[in-house]
Amino acid sequence: MDKIFLKECFLQKTNQYDALEVLSNDKNALNLGSELFLCFDEKFDKDKQIVFAKKKNTEKVIGALSEEDAKGFKPYLDVERTDLYECRISKFDKDGDENKRFSIAIFIVSKDYVNRQQERPDTNPQHNGEGA
């Protein structure tokens, strides 16, 4: 089994980050199933207390997890293990409140799956799409 469903949660404060900009540039950029990744972002939070969801292969922050949802992820992100999780947009309501516009499904991925993904730079969450 490559991945196991862990939880589903809302992304909060999507108006305060890059979600609207990403959608205005490409209406199809954030569809159901679009892949995101969990991370810290010192641009918005120097103390690493907030867990953000970024668009895959970009530095665009789509939203933040609630404090409660973020608790279990922080220790792994502290040791830079962003590869343990796969996140996909599971619900999208373009007219929804900024704290309920996007919901993401978070999966724990197997070690073999991680190793296969790391061999492919186009699917590596650490790879931001820029040249080496």
How, if at all, do strands 35-39 and 52-55 pair? Answer: antiparallel
- Domain extents in the chain: 3-123
- Distance from the Cα of residue 49 to its chain's centroid: 16
Q: pLDDT per residue over 30-75, tens digit each?
A: 999 999 999 999 888 988 889 999 998 888 999 999 999 999 999 9
pTM for this one?
A: 0.80
- What's the CATH class of domain 3-123? alpha beta
* Integer Rg of the chain from CA: 14
Q: For residue range 76-97, what is the model confidence (pLDDT) as tens digits?
A: 999 988 888 999 999 999 888 9
Distance CA 110, CA 18 (A): 30
> DSSP E strands: which ranges in the chain?
3-11, 35-39, 52-55, 61-64, 85-92, 102-109
